Amino acid sequence: MENSYLRQVSQFGPLSAYDIWFIDFNYDPNELKRRTFWRRTNIFDYEKQINETFDIIKNTYHEKLLYFGICGSYKNGTQDKNSDIDVISVVSSLIQEPLYTHADAKLIEKQELKKYLEYGEPLITNFFLNSKPFYDIDNIENMKSIKPVKKKAIPFLLTKADFYIDSIKIIKLVAKKYDKMIESINKLNLTISTKGCANIRDFYLKAALERMHSSSVSLAEALHIKENEIVVDLQELYEYIAKKDEYIAKTMKEIRNRRKQCSARIKNITIPEFEEFLNKTELNNKKLKSMI
């Protein structure tokens, strides 16, 4: 398997509301491309690629691998030619070694998974709760009965949402810096390609859109936990929030779809459009907080 077609497995360490997100300042266009865009899965290769992904993780972790679950559209049987393979693995302890697979793979320690579930962390909780066991040697499936603890989950999700917004503002400054560089190059009629600067700017803005959506998701999940004591998947969350405030749900969907367009290079986002989304998100988040 060629690395240029693979994605690095995401390892989730100790739970924190402060997800430090960064990109190496030694910009490598090939590395950026590999992180941002990946080969879509051929639906006829599904079983082969699931098995390859499992073998890569199993051959690295051996007896430390406790659970391997299939998530998303392939788990539900709703996949198409553009679907990713989503998997989650639970291990007894992490090995600090980069792994590359065809799947969007998440890797977490068993003891940390319990904390993620109790604190209602949306990403890992939904991946795990909606996964179908492919391999389970430690009754990890039983951990799906763990519910969020209100006094832990709600403060955690509020902090997480605020941190997302704070980090977005930093990311926006970096994106604007590259936008200014492009503007200066064009204004001076320099014979320098602006493609590299544009790629980095667009990458930052896409990542910031992801965080923008996640900030509202964190608050929406906090509200849902307060009222229903469980974490729900994104579609259920949209429906739940739409009953509270249809405009908030509509904006959340719009931002998510816009990020997908950026990822697929259908249409990159401009900084003015991005700032408009940020203003909407901050107002919506204020409304969500008032309900919690």
Which pLDDT score is estimated for 17?
76
Which pLDDT score is estimated for 24?
38
Which pLDDT score is estimated for 242?
98
Q: What percent of the chain has pLDDT over 70?
A: 85
- The mean pLDDT of 195-208, rounded to a whole number, is 89
CA distance 205 to 172: 7
Which pLDDT score is estimated for 41?
46
- The mean pLDDT of 282-290, rounded to a whole number, is 98
Q: What percent of the chain has pLDDT over 90?
A: 60
Domain 3-16+38-145, CATH number (from 3.40.50.720, 3.30.460.10, 3.40.50.1820, 3.40.228.10):
3.30.460.10
Identify which of 86-95, 169-178, 216-225 has the greatest average pLDDT: 216-225
**The tokens of 189 are what?**
């009629």
Cβ pair 196, 264 in contact under 8 A: no
Taking CA atoms, 156 is separated from 21, 119, 162, 213, in Å, by 18, 7, 10, 17
pTM (2 decimals)?
0.83
The band of 78, judged by pLDDT with boundaries at 50, 70 and 90, is low
Cβ pair 124, 116 in contact under 8 A: yes
The band of 22, judged by pLDDT with boundaries at 50, 70 and 90, is very low
Which pLDDT score is estimated for 10?
83
- Listed in order, the ranges of the chain carrying CATH 3.30.460.10 are 3-16+38-145
* DSSP H or E segment with residue 29: helix 29-36
Q: Which class for 265: exposed (0-12), middle (13-18), buried (19 or more C-beta within 10 A)?
A: exposed
The band of 79, judged by pLDDT with boundaries at 50, 70 and 90, is low
Query: Which residues, in sequence order, are CB contacts of 234 under 8 Å at separation 6+?
Result: 126, 217
Cβ pair 43, 80 in contact under 8 A: yes
Which residue is listed with tokens 């709703």?
78
The band of 92, judged by pLDDT with boundaries at 50, 70 and 90, is very high
Higher pLDDT, 221 or 1: 221
- The mean pLDDT of 91-96, rounded to a whole number, is 91
- The mean pLDDT of 55-76, rounded to a whole number, is 88
Which pLDDT score is estimated for 37?
35
CA distance 194 to 75: 42
Ordered DSSP codes for 43-99: GGGHHHHHHHHHHHHHHHHGGGEEEEEEEHHHHHT---TTPPPEEEEEESS------
